[in-house]
Amino acid sequence: MLYEIIRFELQYRAKRPETCVYFAILFFCSLFAVNFIFEGNLSPVKENAPHIIAFTMAAAAGIFMMITSLIMGIPVLRDFDYNTAPLLFSAAMTKSEYLFGRFLGSFLILLVVFAALPLGILAGEAMPWRDAGNLLPFNAQTYWQPLLYLVFPALLYSSMIFFASSIISRKLIVVCTQGILFFIAMLLARAIEDPLLSAVLDPFGLRPLQLASQFQTTIELNSMPLTVDANLIYNRFFWLALGSLSFALAARRFNFDIVNSRTSKKHDATPDRQFQSTSPNITIPPAILCDGWTDSLAQLLSHTRFHFQIILKDMWFWVIMICAIVIVFINSINLGTTFGVDSYPTTYLIVEELQEMSIWFFLIILVFFSGELIWKERDARMDLIQDALPVSDAINLTGKFLALTCIYITLMSLLIFSGIVFQTINGFYEYEPLVYFSGFYIEILPYFLLYSFIAFAFQVMVNRKFVAYILVLLFLISTMLLEVFGFDHGLFRFGGQNLHTYSEMNGYGHFLKPYAWFKLYWLAFCIVLFVATVISSVRGIDTSIAARLKTARFRLTRPLFAAASLAALIFCMSGGYIFYNTNVLNTYFTRSMRHDFQASYENTLKRFEYLPQPKIIAANLRVDLFPARRAWRVDGHYILVNKHSEGIDKIHVQKLPDDDLAIEVLEFSEHTSADTVHKSFGHYIYDLERTLLPGDSITMRFRQTFTTKGFVESGSDLGIVHNGTFLNSDLLPTLGYSRKFELRDKGIRADKDLPPRRQRAPRNDTRELANARSGEDGYQIDLEITVITDSDQIALAPGQLKSTWEDGNRAYFHYKTKHPIIDLYPIMSARYEVRRERWLSSDSLTAEPVDLEIYHHPGHKYNLDRMMSAMKRSLDYYSTNFSPYQYQHLRIVEFPRYREFAQSLPGIIPFSEGAGFILDIDDETDVDMCFFVTAHEVAHQWWGMQLAAANVQGRGMILESLAQYSALMVLKQHFPREKIRQFLATQQDLYLKGRSRARTKEQPLSLVEAHQYVHYNKGAINFYALQELISEDSVNLALGRFLCDWGFGSRLSKGRYATSADLLHYFREVTPDTMHDVIDELFNQVILYDNRIVAAQYSKTNQDSYLVELELEATKIQVDTLGNESSLPLRNWIEVAIYGEGQEGKEIALHSERYFFDTARNSLQIALDSKPTKASIDPFHLLIDRRPENNHKTLK
């Protein structure tokens, strides 16, 4: 019998078209799966690396859970729907035979359908858009492992749960939508911090994969098979157990009867009154029928309200709502920054978080409720009554659309309310209703409305609810894919661009206008589509698309026609206007056009890269900023000097190849003739009539303008904005070839037949040794600059402010440098408030006072004291330990958060709105990162401004690692040691994550190219370790000597800039010979440790005396340039600390000492005089360890 039931199921399914459709959908989607899930940017991780395939498969099994749900949920439902249940259940068949038969039959079909997943992924590898260079050779294990550990268990447990819920609920709606719950479970799991719990609860098994691979490097990802660790096993076990349990419970509850007992009870509950009228004499009063447009409007409102109410009474709506809010509160709105410190819960940050967390819920509502609304009458079988009503189709569908809109608005309002609650809980009362409003109703509501039109259209045209669901999903995916494949012009890509980041300084700035135009354009499109939807919607019982299209003509009423025509007109006109702006006023570059341009720039002009060019020694500029119309103009001149030993005949001037920039005047003080053959690249060659002899100078006078014309499709200029202009001197004309225009991506370079590009030249490249930056135009320059801006703004540039005055509505700021500066400087302007203080060097007899100024957005006062104190303390430390500070001013200047960094330039530190001004530092629990970042940037006034590093490998070690070291020393001086430990732990985590995501081989510190995780994170750790080993004073002594020899003006005397080799030389000088190998280890090698406490216990030996016994294990691993690991003999001093309970239950160190280890396993006995609680090996994380958690053990 069981066999018979299974056979019936298989035969039945094999004949059903759905089975093939499901298979086809899965296969088709799997072709794109890897590209879609990883958004096409994996290299150098191979696209079929085991981890990638596993992740893709697990994610796809999750995404297509609806198919599982439909396949598993339908079989029992079918028996009830087609009323075959009475016939079947009376047949000679036991309950378990029936249930198992249906389940197994359906599950077998499910497995067949999901075979499309690996097949599709495999076939996808052969698709033309895939590059064999990004693929590994086929390895069966890559596929069967995830199938066995991820896909099969996921299908099995989800099948059991779906089957169970369908036999209990017997409702199609449950079957179709229950997958959402898993999705929500996944979101919940992600929000949990505890790794094990989070890993176990993720229904799709993605979290265990992420955790297992988070510190894996590219090479490990490409070579290691899927990690089947405890997390994954527990996860699979948990979900399978849950599945079996629900199946068992459901099977027990399943009554082999016909009528769902719950609903039949309901009927009995209502006593049936008879037909006879209670008041037989009543007559129905005549109805007053109205037929004006206001009456239609009233009908529309009523219809909207009606459908809105129906959805409000829908259980699923509340499930989604509640889950959304639960997620918000579980996730607790993550305001964490990369620094490991939270920001203040400012409204815009809350809005961004809420948007990110809720987007899936909106998509679920969009897809699901659009179908529900369209099918509402038919699902309730009220369609014939509804269709015979004298209501126009337009009112019917518009009412439903508005009801859906109300749903979005409800959820958004609920989210806003949660946001306000969250802010209040956190004691932050600066609510900004307008930001909330625009963040939801302007930024994301239009997006969902546009897609709702699409969903309505699909539901009506296809007229199959579930097919339409899937098509809507595919449509969503395909618009994302279009972007991945580079067809991203907002005129083609449905919906256009998202609104650009909000900034408190600049609001939505100039981004709102193009956003509004694109939305208007697509809205008009959608209205035309909606009219088409309305006139072909199903009314009555002729449902075939042919019949509907035949009558559509008659249903196009005059108002509808008028609306469609108007919308079509708006569509064309706004489209034309947008095209005029993006493609006529501005040049539109597709991604490939941009790449072609870059490639041909390099091919044509690379030969000029090291052509000797004169150097700028002075710049005198007048910069006119027009923030309101986003334009600027520079008039001025450079004085150029030939610093080479041979004469120069040709001067190459390079303008940024940006259409908005124009050089209006460019002339030299000598006769020249211009060669404009490379004009298209913005590259002009001026032939000097008289050779510029070594030491001779020449003046270059120029005027350059930047004009904003209309708006661009994307990537609009962020330099000049309404409030918060931040321009850099590299926007001005430069000399010679510009390496920064070159293509960087390895794959694209290969496509264009360009040789591989090094991020940094090797340390013996003499040409780059002479450069501090690529294509450096001047070593030291004198700058005199007048910046003119709107009178409500303050303009800033390096140098002393000589004078400032107003003329009409323009404000003038005249700056002049006292000492030469590097040839890189900013020009900034915004409506600032200023905090001013002064700092006097301890050597106050000789030094002038330094003006400390913070130019900030009026609201951003939270951390000014921290910044100010960091500036003073840094200046104290650096001027005492390294060398005196070189300027009479030091300014921190805020700029909008479109770019999130802080940067140090001569005497001026541009500091992003998003990088410290709104950090909410809790002095108890956080490291004062605002202090640290400020100290780091101030340190660059030495490392970068006083001493420039050669543009070769290891440059980052001099500039960034030394700044990290310097800041860390200031931090150490002013904060407790515990903060240092916390800081270093974060650095270690960032370093390990950074190296696992790195796309190129890892270099040791002294050869670092441009990897932040090396020069920032590892730099901080290793320099800290260095000063622990050889003492802070020794390090500072070496740095002082280094500055003295390689600082100001040494470029000309030495003929080159400093390298990391030079720096290491100074370190060796101050290090005892026996420890030179430590320097080697810290800076010239990549070393990892695996240190742990194997066992730890203590015994009380006496009153007030304790003996701690520790079993320790330490392993040292060397990673070579290919990423291969080998173990090295251990010869290290490693710190071991014992902690106990101090006052108020705080943890205090009872014992901390460095021990010399030269074997992997060691035992220690430590006598103490108070009760120990915890032991740690290497508590400060000075030895980088991928499993830092086992470095500590609670004592027993």
Partner 1 sequence: MNLSISGLSKTYPNGVAALRNVSLTISSGIFGLLGPNGAGKSTLMRILATLQAPDSGTVHLGELDLLEQKYEVRRQLGYLPQEFGLYPRISAESMLNHLAVLKGIRNTKNRREVVQAVLHKTNLFLDRKKNLGGFSGGMKQRFGIAQALLANPQLLIIDEPTAGLDPTERNRFHNLLSELAEETIVILSTHIVDDVKELCCDMAILLNGEILLQAPPLAAINAFAGKVYQKSIGKSEMPLYRQQYRVISEKLFLGQPVIHVLSDTHPRNGFRECTVDLEDVYFAQVIEQNMSRAERKYHAV
CA atoms of 631 and 625, how far apart (whole Å) = 6
- In the list 541, 845, 1052, 1122, the residue contacting partner 1 (rule: CB under 8 A) is 541
φ, ψ of residue 669 to 5 degrees: the values are: -75, -5
Q: Which residues on adjacent β-strands are paired with residue 557? A: none
Give the C-alpha distances (Å, rounded to integers) separating 486 from 490, 511, 594, 597. 11, 21, 11, 16
First-to-last C-alpha distance (Å) of the chain: 61
Taking the CA atoms of residue 383, residue 454, residue 28 and residue 357 in that order, the dihedral angle to the nearest 10 degrees is -110
**Complex with partner 1: residue 388 or 572, whichever CB lies closer:** 388
**Complex with partner 1: residue 272 or 807, whichever CB lies closer:** 272
Give the C-alpha distances (Å, rounded to integers) separating 918 from 533, 832, 861, 914, 1040. 48, 16, 8, 7, 35
Span of 267-275, 503-511, 656-664, 961-969 interacting with partner 1 by CB under 8 A: 267-275
One character per residue 271-290, x = contact with partner 1 (rule: CB under 8 A): -xxxxxxxx--xxxxxxxxx
Name the minimum Å distance from CB 534 to partner 1: 14
CA atoms of 875 and 839, how far apart (whole Å) = 8
Please tell me the count of residues contacting partner 1 according to CB under 8 A.
Answer: 51
**For residues 1060 and 958, is the Cβ–Cβ distance under 8 A?**
yes
* Strand, coil or helix: 466: helix
Is residue 269 near partner 1 by the rule CB under 8 A? yes
- In the list 262, 267, 607, 1196, the residue contacting partner 1 (rule: CB under 8 A) is 267
Quick one: which H or E segment has residue 675? strand 672-675
CA atoms of 189 and 204, how far apart (whole Å) = 10
Name the minimum Å distance from CB 397 to partner 1: 13
* Strand, coil or helix: 43: coil
Name the minimum Å distance from CB 538 to partner 1: 11
One character per residue 312-351, x = contact with partner 1 (rule: CB under 8 A): -x--------------------------------------
Is residue 1146 near partner 1 by the rule CB under 8 A? no
Alpha-carbon Rg of the chain, whole angstroms?
Answer: 35
Taking the CA atoms of residue 357, residue 360, residue 365 and residue 366 in that order, the dihedral angle to the nearest 10 degrees is 120
Span of 261-269, 423-431, 560-568, 1187-1195 interacting with partner 1 by CB under 8 A: 261-269
Of 745, 775, 767, nearest to 615 (Cα)? 775
Give the C-alpha distances (Å, rounded to integers) separating 119 from 124, 125, 135, 905, 985. 8, 10, 16, 55, 44
Q: Are strands 850-856 and 1087-1102 parallel, antiparallel or unpaired?
A: unpaired
Name the minimum Å distance from CB 460 to partner 1: 17
**Complex with partner 1: residue 300 or 992, whichever CB lies closer:** 300
* Strand, coil or helix: 704: strand
- In the list 83, 270, 809, 846, the residue contacting partner 1 (rule: CB under 8 A) is 270
Span of 98-106, 301-309, 366-374, 914-922 interacting with partner 1 by CB under 8 A: 301-309
- In the list 223, 392, 405, 888, the residue contacting partner 1 (rule: CB under 8 A) is 392
Is residue 995 near partner 1 by the rule CB under 8 A? no
Is residue 562 near partner 1 by the rule CB under 8 A? no
One character per residue 650-679, x = contact with partner 1 (rule: CB under 8 A): ------------------------------
**Complex with partner 1: residue 194 or 272, whichever CB lies closer:** 272
836: its two tokens:
């001013």
Q: Which residue is it, tokens 């079988």?
A: 381
- In the list 330, 363, 477, 547, the residue contacting partner 1 (rule: CB under 8 A) is 547
Span of 23-31, 230-238, 380-388, 1045-1053 interacting with partner 1 by CB under 8 A: 380-388
User: Buried (b) or exposed (e) across 596-608, using 16+ Cβ within 10 A?
Assistant: ebbbebbeebeeb
Q: Are strands 908-912 and 889-895 parallel, antiparallel or unpaired?
A: parallel
Span of 184-192, 262-270, 790-798, 1014-1022 interacting with partner 1 by CB under 8 A: 262-270
- In the list 310, 611, 666, 1149, the residue contacting partner 1 (rule: CB under 8 A) is 310
997: its two tokens:
């995501």
**Complex with partner 1: residue 390 or 715, whichever CB lies closer:** 390
Cβ neighbours of 423 (radius 10 Å): 20
Name the minimum Å distance from CB 859 to partner 1: 48
Name the minimum Å distance from CB 321 to partner 1: 17
One character per residue 1092-1121, x = contact with partner 1 (rule: CB under 8 A): ------------------------------
Is residue 554 near partner 1 by the rule CB under 8 A? yes
Is residue 17 near partner 1 by the rule CB under 8 A? no
**For residues 915 and 900, is the Cβ–Cβ distance under 8 A?**
yes
Burial of 258 (0-12, 13-18, 19+ CB in 10 A): middle
946: its two tokens:
């006083």
Name the minimum Å distance from CB 544 to partner 1: 8
Name the minimum Å distance from CB 542 to partner 1: 6
**Complex with partner 1: residue 281 or 844, whichever CB lies closer:** 281
DSSP structure class, residue 793:
S
- In the list 15, 83, 194, 291, the residue contacting partner 1 (rule: CB under 8 A) is 291
Is residue 561 near partner 1 by the rule CB under 8 A? no
Name the minimum Å distance from CB 301 to partner 1: 9
Max intra-chain CA distance, the chain: 118
- In the list 24, 233, 259, 385, the residue contacting partner 1 (rule: CB under 8 A) is 385
Q: Which residues on adjacent β-strands are paired with residue 726? A: 828
- In the list 130, 190, 464, 539, the residue contacting partner 1 (rule: CB under 8 A) is 539
Name the minimum Å distance from CB 261 to partner 1: 15
Is residue 259 near partner 1 by the rule CB under 8 A? no
CA atoms of 409 and 415, how far apart (whole Å) = 10
φ, ψ of residue 908 to 5 degrees: the values are: -145, 135
**Complex with partner 1: residue 273 or 1146, whichever CB lies closer:** 273
Of 209, 984, 962, nearest to 992 (Cα)? 984
Is residue 553 near partner 1 by the rule CB under 8 A? no
633: its two tokens:
């103009």
Name the minimum Å distance from CB 368 to partner 1: 17
Name the minimum Å distance from CB 543 to partner 1: 11
631: its two tokens:
């334009």
**Complex with partner 1: residue 297 or 425, whichever CB lies closer:** 297
Span of 180-188, 374-382, 476-484, 946-954 interacting with partner 1 by CB under 8 A: 374-382
Is residue 15 near partner 1 by the rule CB under 8 A? no
Is residue 381 near partner 1 by the rule CB under 8 A? yes
Q: Are strands 615-626 and 1125-1128 parallel, antiparallel or unpaired?
A: unpaired
**For residues 1107 and 1167, is the Cβ–Cβ distance under 8 A?**
yes
Among left, alpha and beta (phi > 0; psi -120 to 50; other), residue 811 is beta
CA atoms of 310 and 724, how far apart (whole Å) = 48
- In the list 4, 131, 295, 356, the residue contacting partner 1 (rule: CB under 8 A) is 295
Is residue 387 near partner 1 by the rule CB under 8 A? yes
**Complex with partner 1: residue 275 or 805, whichever CB lies closer:** 275
Is residue 1 near partner 1 by the rule CB under 8 A? no
Span of 386-394, 625-633, 771-779, 930-938 interacting with partner 1 by CB under 8 A: 386-394
Residues that bind partner 1 in the complex, under the rule CB under 8 A: 266-267, 269-270, 272-279, 282-291, 295, 298-299, 302-303, 306, 309-310, 313, 376, 380-382, 384-392, 539-542, 547, 551, 554
